[in-house]
C-alpha cells in the first residue's frame, strides 16, 4: 500500500536509485529448471527443506536472504495423484516458520497441511501429505505461512513450486511436448546486500524466472511447449505477454479448463498459477514482457519490465494440438446454495498496517465461519477499499460466478481470485470432499494484508457436529489446533472415516497417533 509506513516515501526515493541497475546486466544463459525432488516407484516424494539465512544470487546480484537449501531458486517438489509427500522442515533460522501447501486438496489435520503448526528456531518439523487418487494435476506451491512473518519470509525466498503430474494423462497428445516450470518472483532491492528489514510493496525489485534475470527460453518454430507459470511473490501481480505469440490456457490454479481458451495476455495475481501451451513463432527473438500494474489509488504501482526472451530458431517442428475431450466439471450454478454469506475485505481508515474481514482481524484462537461437510455455499466478497484484494481459501477450489455483479463465463475452478477495488466478486464453494474436514483459513493473498489481519479461520464439520462446532467458535472450534486427539476429545467421536459415497479417501492417521 502507498500508505504503508512513514518511512515508505523515503525508502522508495532511495531505492529508485537502484531501479535501473539490474537492467544493465547481461541476460543469463538458457533457462535452467529448478532442482527437483521427485517420487519413487511407490509414489513417495521424500523432501528436506533447510530454511536458513544464506548468501545467494538473485539473478546476477549477490544478497544475503532467507531461503531453502542455500538457493534463491527453491527446489521443485514433484508428486502424482495418489502419491505421498514426506517432508522435513529443518529450521536453521533464528525465527519461527512453518509451511502451507498452496492449493493442494489434502487434509489439514495432524501432520498434514495445517498452518496452525509452527517449527521453532533451530528445530525440525515433519509434514506428511497424502494426495487423493483423483487429486487435480498441475502447478501448486509451498511457502511460509507464519502469521505476521509470512510477507518477510516469502519475500526473502521461503517459497517454492510443486508440480502434480497428470495433465498429459488428461491430454495424451501432449506426452511428447517439452514441459517447463517458470517460477516468477520479485526481490526488493537494498543498499545493504541483504533482505530488506521492511518490505515495501511496489518498491524497485529484481524480477526473476527460476531465480534468473532475463533468461533466454528456446523453442523451435512450430514447436509446442507446455509451460507452468507460478507466481510465488509475496505481493506482486504479473501481467505477462509475448508480442506475436498466441497462447492456449490449459489450467488455472491447477484446475484444468473445460474448453479451449486462447490468450494473448495473462494477469497472474499473487499465489496464482497457470499452465499454457506455447507454439514457437517464426525465427526471431520475442521479449517476455511484464506489463505495468496498478492495484488502485490506495494500492501499489509496479513498473513494466522484460522478464526474459523467447528465442525461436532451428528446424521447424510439427505443432501439437489438443484433440482429446476436455474434462467434465460440474457447473455449481446448477446447485442451490445451502448458505449465502457476505464477507467485507476492508482497509483500516486509521492504521495503514491494519486490514479486516467483516470488521475483524485474524485471531488464531477463534473460528469465524463453520460449514457443514456436503454443502455448497455462495460467498459474496465485497471490497470497499480503494485497492485490489486477492481472495484465497485453503484446501479446496471454487467457481467464480460474478465480478461486480456481472456474470462470468464458466471455464473451470480456481483457488484464488481478485476482488476489484470498490467492487465485489461472487464465488460458489463446494465443501463436499471429506478430505477437507478440519480447520483452515481464507484470506487476502497480498501478504502485506494477510499479515495485517485480513485472514479468518473456518472449520468444516460433519452435519451432526454443526451445532456443537458453532458453540465452540470463540474457543477455537472443535478441532483445537487441528491435532486429531484434540478433535476427538472435543467431539467424543470416533476416528474420521469418509462417507461410503465419498469421491476421495481421507488420509490415514499416521501410525502411533491417537
Q: What is the pLDDT of residue 8?
A: 39
The CATH number that domain 332-472 falls under is: 2.60.40.420
pLDDT computed for residue 494 by the predictor: 53
Q: How large is the average pLDDT for residues 272-279?
A: 98
Can you give the pLDDT at residue 486? 61
Q: Across residues 287-303, what is the average pLDDT?
A: 92
Q: pLDDT digits over 37-73, tens only?
A: 999 999 999 999 999 999 999 999 999 999 999 999 9
d(CA 104, CA 248): 24
Say if residue 109's pLDDT is above 80.
yes
pLDDT (tens digit per residue) in 391-410: 999 999 999 999 999 999 99
- The reply to whether the predicted model has a pTM over 0.75 is yes
- pLDDT at position 488 is 60
Q: What percent of the chain is modeled with pLDDT above 90?
A: 85
**Where does the pLDDT of residue 6 fall: very low under 50, low under 70, confident under 90, or very high at 90 and above?**
very low
Q: Domain extents for the chain?
A: 36-312, 332-472
Neighbours of 238 (CB within 10 A): 25
Residue 111 has pLDDT above 90, yes or no: no
Query: Which pLDDT band, with edges at 50, 70 and 90, does 503 fall under?
Result: very low
Q: How far is CA 201 from CA 294, 296, 303, in A?
A: 12, 13, 12
* CA–CA gap between residue 172 and residue 170 (Å, rounded): 6
CATH number for domain 36-312, candidates 2.60.40.420, 2.60.34.10, 1.10.10.60, 3.30.420.40: 2.60.40.420
d(CA 140, CA 78): 10
pLDDT of residue 490 exceeding 90: no
- Asked whether 291 and 240 are in contact (CB, 8 A), the reply is yes
Residue 201: band (very low, low, confident or very high) from pLDDT cuts 50, 70, 90: confident
Same CATH topology for 36-312 and 332-472: the answer is yes
Least trusted range by pLDDT, from 131-145, 301-315, 445-459, 487-501: 487-501
d(CA 58, CA 413): 34
| pLDDT on residue 464 | 95
pLDDT band for position 243 (cuts 50, 70, 90): very high
19-23, 61-65, 200-204, range with the lowest pLDDT: 19-23
Average pLDDT, the chain: 90
- Give backbone dihedrals phi and psi of 151, rounded to 5 degrees, phi first: -60, -45
Q: Given this model, what pLDDT does residue 501 score?
A: 38
β 375-383/369-372 pair status: unpaired
Give the percent of the chain with pLDDT over 70.
Answer: 88
Report pLDDT digits (tens) over 305-331.
Answer: 999 999 999 999 999 999 999 999 999
Long-range pairs of 420-423 with CB within 8 A, sequence gap ≥ 24: 420/383, 420/388, 421/295, 421/296, 421/297, 421/298, 421/299, 421/383, 421/385, 421/386, 421/387, 421/388, 422/383, 422/384, 422/385, 422/386, 423/383
Q: What angle do CA 393, 436, 49 make, to 5 degrees?
A: 75
Whole-number pLDDT of residue 237: 95
Q: Cβ atoms within 10 A of the Cβ of 285, count?
A: 10
pLDDT digits (tens, 9 = 90+) for 433-471: 999 999 999 999 999 999 999 999 999 999 999 999 999
Q: Return the higher-pLDDT residue of 26 and 478.
A: 478
pLDDT of residue 316: 96
- What is the structure's pLDDT at 493? 57
Q: Does residue 121 register a pLDDT over 80?
A: yes
> At 23, is the pLDDT very low, low, confident or very high (cuts 50, 70, 90)?
very low
Q: DSSP class of residue 299? A: S
Amino acid at each position: 500500500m502507498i500508505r504503508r509506513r512513514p518511512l515508505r516515501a523515503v525508502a522508495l526515493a532511495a531505492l529508485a536509485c537502484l531501479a535501473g541497475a539490474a537492467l544493465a546486466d547481461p541476460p543469463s544463459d538458457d533457462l535452467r529448471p529448478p532442482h527437483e525432488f521427485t517420487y519413487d516407484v511407490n509414489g513417495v516424494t521424500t523432501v528436506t527443506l533447510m530454511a536458513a539465512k544464506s548468501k545467494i544470487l538473485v539473478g546476477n546480484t549477490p544478497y544475503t536472504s532467507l531461503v531453502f537449501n542455500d538457493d534463491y531458486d527453491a527446489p521443485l517438489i514433484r508428486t502424482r495423484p495418489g502419491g505421498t509427500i514426506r517432508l522435513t522442515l529443518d529450521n536453521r533460522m533464528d525465527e519461527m516458520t512453518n509451511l502451507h501447501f498452496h492449493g493442494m486438496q489434502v487434509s489439514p489435520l495432524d501432520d498434514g497441511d495445517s498452518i496452525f503448526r509452527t517449527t521453532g528456531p533451530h528445530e525440525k518439523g515433519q509434514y506428511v501429505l497424502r494426495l487423493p487418487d483423483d487429486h487435480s494435476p498441475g502447478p501448486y506451491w509451498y511457502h511460509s505461512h507464519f502469521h505476521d512473518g509470512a510477507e518477510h519470509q516469502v519475500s526473502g525466498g521461503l517459497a517454492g513450486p510443486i508440480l502434480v503430474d497428470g495433465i498429459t494423462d488428461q491430454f495424451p497428445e501432449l506426452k511428447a511436448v517439452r514441459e517447463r516450470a517458470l517460477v516468477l518472483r520479485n526481490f526488493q532491492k537494498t543498499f545493504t546486500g541483504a533482505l530488506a528489514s521492511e518490505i515495501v510493496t511496489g518498491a524497485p525489485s529484481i524480477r526473476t524466472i527460476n531465480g534468473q534475470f532475463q533468461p533466454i527460453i528456446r523453442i523451435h518454430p512450430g514447436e509446442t511447449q507446455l509451460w507452468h507459470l507460478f507466481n510465488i511473490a509475496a505481493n506482486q501481480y504479473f501481467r505477462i505477454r509475448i508480442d506475436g505469440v498466441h497462447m492456449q490456457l490449459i489450467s488455472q490454479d491447477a484446475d484444468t479448463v473445460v474448453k479451449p481458451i486462447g490468450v494473448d495476455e495473462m494477469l497472474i495475481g499473487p499465489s496464482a498459477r497457470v499452465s499454457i501451451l506455447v507454439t514457437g513463432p517464426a525465427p526471431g527473438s520475442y521479449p517476455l514482457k511484464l506489463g505495468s500494474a496498478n492495484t488502485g489509488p490506495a494500492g501499489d504501482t509496479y513498473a513494466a519490465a522484460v522478464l526474459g526472451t523467447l528465442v525461436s530458431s532451428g528446424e521447424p517442428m510439427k505443432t501439437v494440438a489438443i484433440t482429446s475431450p476436455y474434462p467434465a466439471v460440474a457447473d455449481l450454478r446448477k446447485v442451490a446454495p445451502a448458505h449465502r454469506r457476505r464477507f467485507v475485505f476492508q482497509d483500516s481508515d486509521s492504521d495503514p498496517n491494519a486490514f479486516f474481514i467483516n470488521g475483524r482481524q485474524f485471531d488464531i484462537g477463534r473460528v469465524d465461519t463453520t460449514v457443514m461437510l456436503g454443502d455448497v455455499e455462495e460467498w459474496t466478497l465485497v471490497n470497499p477499499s480503494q485497492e485490489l484484494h486477492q481472495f484465497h481459501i485453503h484446501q479446496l477450489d471454487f467457481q467464480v460466478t460474478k465480478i461486480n455483479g456481472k456474470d462470468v463465463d464458466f471455464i473451470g475452478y480456481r483457488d484464488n481470485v481478485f476482488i476489484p477495488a470498490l467492487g465485489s466478486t461472487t464465488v460458489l464453494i463446494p465443501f463436499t470432499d471429506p478430505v477437507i474436514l478440519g480447520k483452515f483459513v481464507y484470506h487476502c493473498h497480498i501478504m502485506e494484508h494477510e499479515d495485517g489481519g485480513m485472514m479468518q479461520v473456518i472449520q468444516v464439520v460433519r452435519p451432526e457436529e454443526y451445532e456443537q462446532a458453532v458453540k465452540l467458535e470463540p474457543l477455537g472450534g472443535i478441532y483445537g489446533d487441528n491435532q486429531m486427539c484434540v478433535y476427538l476429545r472435543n467431539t467424543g467421536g470416533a476416528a474420521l472415516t469418509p462417507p461410503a459415497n465419498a469421491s476421495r479417501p481421507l488420509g490415514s492417521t499416521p501410525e502411533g497417533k491417537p
